[in-house]
Amino acid sequence: MTPTGRHDNLDTVDRLADAIARVGSGSSLAALAAARDLAAAASETMQQAVDRARASGHSWREIGDVLGTTRQAAFQRFGHPVDPRTGAPMFAAITEGRWEEARRDLNAKMRQGLDAKRLADGWAHMAGLVGAYEGMGEPFAHRVAENTVVEIPLRFEAGEATGRVVFDEDGKVTGLWMRP
């Protein structure tokens, strides 16, 4: 974000904090809306600060220490999961029709049950439901037991879907879903 954008965010935070402080003189629903907007502005500002810290070379452990959490929790909340080989967002091989490449990270059981044709058919089915693929949003990673689950918002011409990829501790895909 540009420096101007950061100042705009601070102005928004100040304006919203003032609105919340005036709760006694106005609508409780207006105060609630201002609190919601304040939380969103604070979340965006926190994401920008984490992105700047990472760009400056700080580790997830350092960021987690500042936030009072673990490095894994910091990454799960603020990280941008990407394929380490290509730097592309996860799920990109599927959205670009590179079926065999998408299968490369599947564990043995998944590879047996999910060939390139089945992947392509699943993608075609999704396009039949919600139209042509237009883009993806920011992936969100979280832990479930020993696995890392990555949820990826997908935008299509007639709707939205969520891609979900489940990785085991070895980084192999143990689950893959697309849901409109």
- At residue 3, the pLDDT reads 43
Interval 109-119 mean pLDDT: 93
In whole angstroms, what is the distance from residue 3 CA to residue 5 CA?
Answer: 5
Task: List the domains of the chain with CATH numbers.
Answer: 3-78 (no CATH), 92-179 (3.10.450.590)
CA atoms within 13 A on the CB side of 52: 10
**Span 78-99, pLDDT tens digits:** 776 555 445 556 677 888 898 9
- At residue 102, the pLDDT reads 86
**Span 38-87, pLDDT tens digits:** 888 888 888 889 889 988 988 888 998 999 988 777 876 777 655 544 55
How many Å from the N-terminal Cα to the C-terminal Cα in the chain?
A: 31
Residue, of 102 and 169, whose pLDDT is higher:
102
- Phi and psi torsions of 91, nearest 5°: 85, -5
